[in-house]
Amino acid sequence: MQIELHASEEDRRVAVLAAAAIGLTLAEAAIPLPIPGVKPGLANIVTLVVLYRHGWRMAAWVAGLRIVAGALALGQFLTPAFVLSLSGGVMSLLVLAWAIHLPTRWFGPVGLSVLAAFAHIGAQLLVVDAWLMPGASLLALMPLFLAAAWITGLGNGLAAAQLLKSTSRPNPEVSP
């Protein structure tokens, strides 16, 4: 018996973009970072660009595949690190689903990136507080993590804006 999988054009595009995001995840895991738990989250650049270029549904596919496949590749699947990554990813996607409808005249990729970064770390801190370390006062760590989210959100947003600009079609103000 032969099983055939038919990949549509969209499937292929998702696969290519998810591969780029997974590549960034793996590359960033190899970079030693001074503070545990603080990562630049470079793969979110891909999520943002996909969100603007191809819409939220595809961005969710790319982010979801990146989270699962990235965790598999790093040996973190179903570990607490994976749950943290998933909760942050889901929350930032939810915020992006809302934020993409903000008027594009006023809000661009930089603002959305910062919002998503705050949602990401917020969900992760909630999971840590409720499940991993109940009772520990995370308040002491919040300025540190929020500052990191602010900086990485800004950096990733600028990178996404630059990518969107350099690959822009004739009318860049129209979002899909």
Partner 1 sequence: MAGVRIRPGDWLILGLGLALLAALWARQAGSLEGRVIIRLDGQVFTEASLRLNRIIEVPGPLGPSRVEIRDGRVRVAADPGPRQLCVRQGWIPPGSAVVCLPNRVAVENAAAGYDTLNY
Least spacing, CB of residue 148 vs partner 1, in Å: 10
Please, which of residues 141-160 interact with partner 1 by CB under 8 A? 142-143, 146-147, 149-150, 153-154, 157-159
**Cα–Cα distance for residue pair 164/113, rounded to 1 Å:** 13
Residue 7 makes CB contacts below 8 A (sequence gap 6+) with 15
The one among 8, 106, 130, 171 contacting partner 1 by CB under 8 A: 106
36 binds partner 1 (CB under 8 A): no
Pick 6 or 105: Cβ nearer partner 1: 105
* Token pair belonging to 122: 């917020």
The one among 1, 3, 139, 174 contacting partner 1 by CB under 8 A: 139
132 binds partner 1 (CB under 8 A): no
Looking at residue 33, what DSSP letter applies? -
Size of the site for partner 1 (CB under 8 A): 30
23 binds partner 1 (CB under 8 A): no
**Cα–Cα distance for residue pair 125/132, rounded to 1 Å:** 10
Phi, psi of 147 (to 5 degrees): -65, -40
Collapsing DSSP to helix, strand or coil, 156 comes out as helix
105 binds partner 1 (CB under 8 A): yes
Tell me the CA distances in angstroms from 80 to 32, 44, 110, 123, 128, one per residue in order: 20, 20, 29, 13, 9
Q: What is the dihedral of CA 101, 102, 107, 112, to 10 degrees?
A: -60
The one among 13, 38, 81, 107 contacting partner 1 by CB under 8 A: 107
List residues near partner 1 by CB under 8 A. 102-103, 105-108, 110-111, 114-115, 118, 135-137, 139-140, 142-143, 146-147, 149-150, 153-154, 157-159, 161-162, 165
